[in-house]
């Protein structure tokens, strides 16, 4: 049993109560501290998105960031002989970014640099967005938390700022979005690609949901895809369909003397509709008035800051020290899966930019051993969930909730988190956490020459459909390709 040092329940309550009596006025924006890197204005109330009608992918999300279903391009009707056109691209290097602006949307528009696609699919998706204004407004509200950071990172890398709209397509800017193929977070990383881009995925923390880490990984991935294809539309198709699939489609068209641009390649319906979704969003944001869209300004300033050199600390206490709602804290720190943050697992926490100084000032008033009220417990042979719950003053349902154990699961996990003292009282302060399962037991298969998806799926006792979803592959495989099987 590995314990996390902590106070008695009474000491914790007294400390939290003292802090809750602190001044409720909003402090001024904090100055930059040595351990803080600024990355977006006052808290935005959590949104409750209404999912679009076609919804194959979404899973349950927490009450403050509820279920979001991904837009389904496969429901779009095929367009026979559709008129397709690529406009001339702009170059990022020629854009004038010297004029200051107070509106982040305007800053975003100035960085648009990808060629425009004009096709009936773009018109179809544009019409859908315009007809679903409530959905769009809820998505725009969530966007306020994260957009400044993404735009700033894109500009650092001299990448087109249209890519900041990609989380609208992938997750509707819900960092808790989770798909049937185990894709998670704003950028919808599947486990294998997440590991390839060094996103930690374990029982405590999932970097695919972390706003800072996942954005860095997504932009790395998109840059790699662009370098592979030399075309942003093909890079986006690869992000959705898989780079090997796109490379094969390009090679096939080139061999037949056909064009190799995005609109000319054979690809699945979902991928065929993927870039038009982004184009439709770009059109709306470039000229919202023309479409009757109300686009409230977003301050062109950091919404959040990343705070490093943290200690082990309860999620609820961290929010209390920052004098902010715990729901907003979780919305900025969606990567954490348990009610206690382990500093050995996560390198930072994210706070509103105007709450960093408050957090540090309140933290200095507490001893290091007064920061946690949970500890880890490693079950022994013969332990049952009922016995463990009883020994720590919890009900079985409470033990399941805090550890993300399904009601249908009878097996005792290899690791649990339990209260240090007074289980019932500690649980009453439990924040609403959400931890989509991280697939475990996955193994890697290296494709040999002549192998097929059907043969590999049969070998491992899985379906071809699951194999394709886990790895974003098509019907044909390449020798040396690495597949993840769960």
DSSP string, 297-315: --BSS-SEEEEES---EEH
Predicted pLDDT of residue 49: 41
| Burial of 482: CB neighbours in 10 Å, binned 0-12, 13-18, 19+ | exposed
Residue 278 scores a pLDDT above 90: yes
Lowest mean pLDDT among 67-71, 244-248, 323-327, 424-428: 67-71
CB atoms closer than 10 angstroms to residue 77: 9
**pLDDT class for 477, splitting at 50, 70, 90?**
confident
Query: With contact defined as beta carbons under 8 Å apart, do 298 and 105 qualify?
Result: yes
Please name the helix (run of DSSP H) or strand (run of DSSP E) that holds residue 76, with its range, or none. Answer: none
Return d(Cα 149, Cα 253) in angstroms, integer: 38
Residue 220 scores a pLDDT above 80: yes
Predicted pLDDT of residue 437: 56
Specify whether the backbone of 228 is left (phi greater than 0), alpha (psi in -120 to 50) or beta.
alpha
Residues 6+ apart with CB under 8 A from 149: 39, 40, 211, 212, 215, 302, 303, 304
**pLDDT class for 346, splitting at 50, 70, 90?**
confident
The alpha carbon of 249 is separated from its chain's Cα centroid by a whole number of angstroms, namely: 29
Return d(Cα 441, Cα 421) in angstroms, integer: 33
Return d(Cα 185, Cα 334) in angstroms, integer: 8
The average pLDDT across 410-439 equals 73
Tokens of 110: 């100035």
Lowest mean pLDDT among 255-264, 351-360, 370-379, 468-477: 468-477
Residue 44 scores a pLDDT above 50: no
Residue 364 scores a pLDDT above 50: yes
Q: Which of 10, 19, 9, 4 is nearest to 366 (CA)?
A: 19
Query: What is the model's pTM?
Result: 0.73
Residue 29 scores a pLDDT above 50: no
The average pLDDT across 200-218 equals 95
Residues 6+ apart with CB under 8 A from 395: 389
Q: Looking up tokens 């993404």, which residue turns up?
A: 150
Lowest mean pLDDT among 83-97, 165-179, 417-431, 467-481: 83-97
170 among known catalytic residues: yes
Residues 6+ apart with CB under 8 A from 97: 107, 110, 111, 155
**pLDDT class for 442, splitting at 50, 70, 90?**
low
Residue 21 scores a pLDDT above 60: no
**pLDDT class for 82, splitting at 50, 70, 90?**
very low
Return d(Cα 223, Cα 230) in angstroms, integer: 10
The average pLDDT across 141-152 equals 98
3-class secondary-structure state, position 403:
helix
Query: Pick the catalytic residue: 57, 153, 162, 170?
Result: 170
Q: What are phi and psi of 117, to 5 degrees?
A: -105, 130
Tokens of 198: 């060094």
pLDDT in tens, 171-198: 999 999 998 888 999 999 998 899 999 9
Q: Which CATH number fits domain 443-485: 3.10.350.10, 2.60.90.10, 3.40.190.10, 3.20.20.70?
A: 3.10.350.10
Residues 73-291, CATH architecture: Orthogonal Bundle (1.10)
- Rounding to the nearest 10 degrees, give the CA dihedral for residues 263, 265, 271, 272: 40
Query: With contact defined as beta carbons under 8 Å apart, do 220 and 248 qualify?
Result: no
CB atoms closer than 10 angstroms to residue 405: 18
Q: Looking up tokens 């991935």, which residue turns up?
A: 221
> Fold identical between 73-291 and 443-485?
no
**pLDDT class for 110, splitting at 50, 70, 90?**
very high
The average pLDDT across 62-89 equals 36
The average pLDDT across 251-274 equals 95
Return d(Cα 124, Cα 265) in angstroms, integer: 20
């Amino acid at each position: 049993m590995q314990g996390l040092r902590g106070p008695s329940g009474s000491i914790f309550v007294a400390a939290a109560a003292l802090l809750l009596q602190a001044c409720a006025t909003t402090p001024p924006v904090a100055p930059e501290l040595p351990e803080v890197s600024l990355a977006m204005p006052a808290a935005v109330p959590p949104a409750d998105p209404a999912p679009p009608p076609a919804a194959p992918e979404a899973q349950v999300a927490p009450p403050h960031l509820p279920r979001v279903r991904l837009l389904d391009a496969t429901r779009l009707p095929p367009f026979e002989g559709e008129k397709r056109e690529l406009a001339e691209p702009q170059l990022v290097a020629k854009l004038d970014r010297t004029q200051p602006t107070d509106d982040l949307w305007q800053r975003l528009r100035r960085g648009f640099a990808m060629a425009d696609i004009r096709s009936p699919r773009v018109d179809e998706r544009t019409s859908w967005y315009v007809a679903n204004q409530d959905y769009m407004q809820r998505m725009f509200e969530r966007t306020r938390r994260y957009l400044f950071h993404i735009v700033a990172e894109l500009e650092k890398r001299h990448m087109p700022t249209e890519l900041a709209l990609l989380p609208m397509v992938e997750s509707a800017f819900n960092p808790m979005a989770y798909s049937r193929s185990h894709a998670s977070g704003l950028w919808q990383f599947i486990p294998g690609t997440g590991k390839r881009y060094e996103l930690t995925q374990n029982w405590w923390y999932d970097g695919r949901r972390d706003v800072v880490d996942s954005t860095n990984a997504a932009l790395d991935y998109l840059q790699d895809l662009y370098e592979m294809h030399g075309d942003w539309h093909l890079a986006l198709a690869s992000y959705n369909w898989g780079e090997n699939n796109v490379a094969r489609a390009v090679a096939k068209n080139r061999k037949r003397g056909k064009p190799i641009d995005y609109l000319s390649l054979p690809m699945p319906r979902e991928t065929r509709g993927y870039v038009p979704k982004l184009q439709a969003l770009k059109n709306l944001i470039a000229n919202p008035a023309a479409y009757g869209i109300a686009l409230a300004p977003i301050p062109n300033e950091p919404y959040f800051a990343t705070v490093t050199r943290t200690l082990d600390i309860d999620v609820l206490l961290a929010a209390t020290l920052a004098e902010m709602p715990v729901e907003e804290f979780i919305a900025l720190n969606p990567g954490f899966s348990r009610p206690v943050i382990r500093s050995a697992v996560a390198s930072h926490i994210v706070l509103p930019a105007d709450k960093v100084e408050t957090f540090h000032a309140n933290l200095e008033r507490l001893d290091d051993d007064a920061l946690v009220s949970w500890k880890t417990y490693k079950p022994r042979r013969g332990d049952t969930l009922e016995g463990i719950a009883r020994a720590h003053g919890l009900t079985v349902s409470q033990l399941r909730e805090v550890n993300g154990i399904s009601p249908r699961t009878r097996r005792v996990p290899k690791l649990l988190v339990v209260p240090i003292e007074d289980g019932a009282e500690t649980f009453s302060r439990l924040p609403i956490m959400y931890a989509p399962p991280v697939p475990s037991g996955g193994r890697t298969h290296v494709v040999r020459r002549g192998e097929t998806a059907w043969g590999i799926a049969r070998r491992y006792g899985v379906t071809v459909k699951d194999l394709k979803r886990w790895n974003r592959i098509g019907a044909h495989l390449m020798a040396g390709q690495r597949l993840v099987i769960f």
